[in-house]
Amino acid sequence: MFQQLDGKALSLQIKEEIANEVRQLTAQGHRPPHLAAVIVGNDGASQTYVANKEKSSHEVGFISSVYRLPENISEKELLQTIDFLNNDNEIDGFIVQLPLPKHINEQHIINAISPDKDVDGFTAINVGRMVLGEEAFIPATPMGICTLLKRYNVETAGKHCVVMGRSNIVGTPVANLLSRKGFDCTVTICHSKTKNMADLTRQADILVVAIGKPEMVTADMVKEGAVVIDVGIHRIPDESKKSGYRIIGDVKHDEVDKLCSWVTPVPGGVGPLTIVSLLENTMKAYKRQLKIK
Ligand code: GUN
């Protein structure tokens, strides 16, 4: 019988821990932590992500601000906004919501973010620090996956972990983190050019799916007793729902779940932990800024 890695419940618990800490620090006379987000244009998914980040920030007592910029903004103007945020001592951390419009060089913008405020952990400096095992901001989704595995005491040492997807945001960093001391997995990364992907995924004790294709992972790709982490999130039309859609992942849960020892549901698995990790990174940036231990 499979058990769920309940991201929703765990996120509520960690948010309560953060909120308590914020209450204590503000009672001592400190200002609250402040997380800002920059959003360019009107991408629907990005609007949803940023709205969720704002809501969660308020729930734990953070100040949240959103800088909404037009789709046709120039790279130079966007860099000016980043420069402003880098230099505002009342802002502890900020994110630039991706994707950016095509005329803007994403890496150029990301690397303009001060590494001390880069709570997404996307700058070259933070990625380098992470890979070296130095103190760093860890990207929110991989950090959330690590938190789920740790808090649910899932055994990882010596396990074969297969990561599907090699993005900078999820696949590449999670492969790095899970191969490290502490998790001690043996990691294989699969991607669009991998041959016989199912032969590899069937060997996985831990399967992390961040491939971005709705319900791509089917029962024949999963070993009995595997731990399955589904990072996918897709809206598909569903007339039986009031909203007109439902959320599905990269895993076909109706046939895969019964094979698993542990599995993350979608929604309510990795997603809530991603936001919580961003809050944890902001808390860390805030303490550094205010020199609080
Ligand atoms: N777009 C999709 N996920 C993310 C994320 O974690 N951070 C940012 N900045 N943009 C994203």
Q: Is the pTM of this model over 0.85?
A: yes
Question: Is there a contact between 250 and 210 (Cβ–Cβ < 8 Å)?
Answer: yes
Q: How far is CA 39 from CA 44, 68, 101, 116, 192, in A?
A: 11, 5, 10, 20, 29
Protein residue with its CA nearest to atom 1 in ligand 1:
98
9 domain residue, yes or no: no
| CATH label of the domain that carries residue 48 | 3.40.50.10860
Same domain, 266 and 218: yes
Q: Which residues fall within 8 angstroms of residue 273, CB to CB, at 6 or more apart?
A: 7, 10, 11, 143, 144, 145, 147, 148
230 domain residue, yes or no: yes
Residue 35 Cβ contacting ligand 1 at under 6 Å: no
Same domain, 169 and 50: no
10 Å Cβ neighbour count for 60?
25
81 domain residue, yes or no: yes
Residue 127 Cβ contacting ligand 1 at under 6 Å: no
Q: Tokens for 204, please give them.
A: 């996985």
Same domain, 79 and 185: no
Q: How far is the CA of 244 from the centre of ligand 1 (A)?
A: 25
Q: Is 97 a catalytic residue?
A: yes
pLDDT at residue 293, as a whole number: 84
Q: Find the helix or strand (DSSP H, E) in which 189 lies.
A: strand 186-190
Same domain, 226 and 158: yes
pLDDT at residue 82, as a whole number: 98
194 domain residue, yes or no: yes
Same domain, 247 and 176: yes
pLDDT at residue 260, as a whole number: 98
State which residues form the domain around 64: 29-114
Instruction: State the catalytic residue, choosing from 15, 92, 117, 120.
Output: 120
- Number of domains comprising the chain: 2
Same domain, 107 and 148: no
pLDDT at residue 1, as a whole number: 86
Question: Is there a contact between 146 and 152 (Cβ–Cβ < 8 Å)?
Answer: no
Residue 205 Cβ contacting ligand 1 at under 6 Å: no
Single out the residue of 201, 191, 246 nearest to residue 228, CA to CA. 201
Identity of the residue numbered 165: G
Single out the residue of 284, 274, 282, 281 nearest to residue 10, CA to CA. 274
Protein residue with its CA nearest to atom 11 in ligand 1:
98
Same domain, 219 and 172: yes
Same domain, 146 and 261: yes
Pocket test residue of 40, 49, 270 for ligand 1, highest count of atoms within 8 A of CB: 49
Residue 109 Cβ contacting ligand 1 at under 6 Å: no
Q: Which residues fall within 8 angstroms of residue 17, CB to CB, at 6 or more apart?
A: none
Same domain, 162 and 267: yes
159 domain residue, yes or no: yes
* 3 state SS of 186: strand
Protein residue with its CA nearest to atom 7 in ligand 1:
97
70 domain residue, yes or no: yes
Residue 47 Cβ contacting ligand 1 at under 6 Å: no
Protein residue with its CA nearest to atom 8 in ligand 1:
97
Single out the residue of 168, 246, 161 nearest to residue 209, CA to CA. 161
| CATH label of the domain that carries residue 265 | 3.40.50.720
Report residues of the chain scoring pLDDT below 50. Answer: none
Question: Is there a contact between 214 and 236 (Cβ–Cβ < 8 Å)?
Answer: yes
Same domain, 155 and 235: yes
280 domain residue, yes or no: no
93 domain residue, yes or no: yes
Q: How far is the CA of 36 from the centre of ligand 1 (A)?
A: 13
Q: Tokens for 155, please give them.
A: 């055994």
Same domain, 97 and 185: no
